[in-house]
Chains A and B, each alone.
Chain A
């Protein structure tokens, strides 16, 4: 519990790095939210709202399932404890999205949420439970690499549910920040203990898996950006370089590699 890490992940690092990247690549994205959201009104807006948030709930359900499957791949009670918290939180998020979709549209999205989680299993294949590093790569993509997308959505969406916006700021995002921090610091603890040879091997394997997951997710990520624009009006256009650069920063932090060569989401 009291291991001293040479680098420790925190929200300041996230904010400073992201603000720098947004300023560099997407100056049209403001550093804070500039206007209130309006609730979905027309039939089309409500239908988009239903689809977008049912899909978001499916994302959370998938990570609940993946983390549960992976929890016993690694015999480390520290990891059990931090993942148990993540699983509990993500289940709560899934439920929260489901409830708001019901409140706003009158339809229970439960079947679509399940279908979406199944869709993630289709494109992710066996990576989440192939081995413990596969699961870490999944965590990286679902918790860390996704951050610029989450930030852009939360700052720039125009059509949204007030309660979801409030909950996102007060519950979901602080939870997610804790998950990123917990998994990053857990990883660093393992990584810093390793011998130079082991480190090189771990780095090579994780890099390869992270790239594999990127390939598997490319199509989905681009569709999500498009859907966000359509459903909520979020300014996701042109976000690709921020995504790529942020992912480089994450990998660089995890593996102590200054400028890792990675494939692009584009």
Chain B
């Protein structure tokens, strides 16, 4: 929106470009595109794992709905409020679609399990996302941007998927999520542009600190979720920690406009 960027705009093309660069470095054996279509879950065990994986996805979305709703009137920035209302609507719709797909596949409404998984997010994260703008920014970065490394890797290497869910993801979820990432970038950019040089340095330091705190809180959840991802859809996760750390570095470097070489050493997902 504001044209003060001295670097290319954050786009899905740029994301793929960065991601491919990281694949070359960390996992050159992995394909750059999907080699074969995923197949639907076949055995009872596969179906059960797949549903658990999807329930975790719906919980991720419903957790975002709850956090954004709590924050919306705490930050007096109308542009941000309108952006968050869209994010709430979109992520609620994604959760609802997942709920319906799991019900269709498993024969029962998973809403109670979804809510239980939402509670796990609150349990590990505490009040960080709703404490102040720094915490909320870190939350948006982790839940919308840092997660992209996992999503891209899943997208290229998963072996099992539900065709209906795949179609909904392609037509609705992916464009929505790309829009959300842009919204987060825009919000930060507005905040950053309005600050004086001294304030800018302070904003960057605070944003980084909150992002690091959330990484530490989130590590056990990520590890568990990646295991589930591998079990349920067969996605590649062995190389993920290295790619995840490098991806997060790239995001923060872009976001805070600091060259990677000047960034402090970041908390690793393996810490």
* CB <8 Å contact, A81 and B73: no
Q: Which residues of A contact B92 (CB under 8 A)?
A: 80-81, 83-85, 87-88
**Are B73 and A84 in contact, with the CB atoms below 8 A?**
no
Judge if B30 is at the interface, Cβ distance under 8 Å: no
**B11 interface hit (Cβ, 8 Å):** no
The answer to the question of A51 belonging to the interface, with a C-beta cut-off of 8 Å to chain B, is: no
Q: In the bound complex, do residue B109 and residue A88 qualify as a contact, i.e. CB atoms below 8 Å apart?
A: no
How far does the Cβ of A113 sit from chain B's closest Cβ, in whole Å? 7
Please state if B85 and A90 are interface contacts (CB–CB under 8 Å): yes
The answer to the question of B206 belonging to the interface, with a C-beta cut-off of 8 Å to chain A, is: no
Partner of A71, one of B69, B78, B82, B111: B69
Q: Is the CB of A89 within 8 A of B89?
A: yes
Complex interface residues of chain A between 56 and 77 (CB less than 8 A to chain B): 61, 64-65, 67-69, 71-72, 77
Flag if B93 contacts A85 (CB, 8 Å): yes
A88 and B111 within 8 A (CB): no
CA distance A64 to B72 in the complex (A): 9
Closest to B115 in A: A77
B80 to chain A, nearest CB (A): 11
List chain A residues, Cβ under 8 A from B91: 84
In the complex the two chains form, what is the Cα distance from A240 to B156 in whole Å?
61
**Which of B88, B99, B115 has a CB less than 8 Å from the CB of A88?**
B88
List the B side residues contacting A64 at CB < 8 Å: 72, 81-82, 85
B70 at interface, CB cutoff 8 A: yes
Q: Given the interface contacts A64-B72, A91-B85, does A84 sit within 8 Å of B65 by beta carbon?
A: yes
Nearest A-chain residue to B90, judged by Cβ = A88
Indicate with 1 or 0, residue by residue over A96-133, a CB within 8 angstroms of chain B CB atoms: 00000000000000100110000000000000000000
Q: Max chain A CB contacts within 10 Å: which of B62, B92, B96?
A: B92
| Docked complex Cα distance between A12 and B99 (Å) | 29
Determine which of B70, B85, B95 lies in contact with A81 in the assembled complex, contact meaning CB atoms within 8 Å. B95
CA distance A76 to B65 in the complex (A): 13
Asked if B85 and A88 make an inter-chain contact with CB atoms under 8 angstroms apart, the answer reads yes
Partner of B88, one of A72, A84, A94, A114: A84
- Given the complex of chains A and B, what is the CA–CA distance between A91 and B87 in angstroms? 10
B74-116: CB near A (< 8 Å → 1, else 0) gives 0000110110111111111101100100010000010110110
Closest to B93 in A: A85
Bound-state CA distance A92–B93 (Å) is 14
Are B114 and A77 in contact, CB atoms less than 8 angstroms apart? yes
On chain A, the residues within 8 Å of B109 by CB distance are: 1
User: Complex Cα distance A88/B66, Å?
Assistant: 13
- Nearest chain A CB to B56 CB, angstrom units: 15
Is the Cβ of B65 less than 8 Å from the Cβ of A80? Answer: yes
- Choose one: A86, A91, A113; the contact of B86 (CB below 8 Å): A91
Whether A72 pairs with B89 at a CB distance below 8 angstroms is: no
Closest to A2 in B: B109
The answer to the question of A162 belonging to the interface, with a C-beta cut-off of 8 Å to chain B, is: no
Q: Is the CB of A72 within 8 A of B65?
A: no
Report the minimum CB–CB distance from B101 to chain A (whole Å): 13
Closest to A114 in B: B78
Contact of A78 with B by CB under 8 A: yes
Beta-carbon contact of B89 and A91 below 8 Å: yes
A92 and B73 contacting across the interface, CB-CB below 8 Å: no
Which 5 A-B residue pairs are closest in the complex by CB-CB distance?
Answer: A88-B89, A84-B92, A91-B85, A68-B69, A68-B72
Q: What are 10 sample pairs from A and B whose C-beta atoms fall under 8 A apart?
A: A1-B109, A61-B78, A65-B72, A68-B84, A81-B65, A81-B95, A85-B92, A88-B92, A89-B89, A92-B89
A residues in contact (CB < 8 Å) with B: 1, 61, 64-65, 67-69, 71-72, 77-78, 80-81, 83-92, 94-95, 110, 113-114
Q: Give the interface of B toward A (CB within 8 A).
A: 62, 65-66, 68-70, 72-73, 78-79, 81-82, 84-93, 95-96, 99, 103, 109, 111-112, 114-115, 118
Beyond A65-B81, A68-B72, A84-B69, 20 additional pairs, beta carbon < 8 A: A61-B78, A61-B82, A68-B69, A68-B73, A68-B84, A77-B114, A80-B92, A83-B69, A83-B92, A84-B65, A84-B88, A84-B95, A87-B69, A88-B87, A88-B92, A91-B84, A91-B89, A92-B85, A92-B86, A110-B78
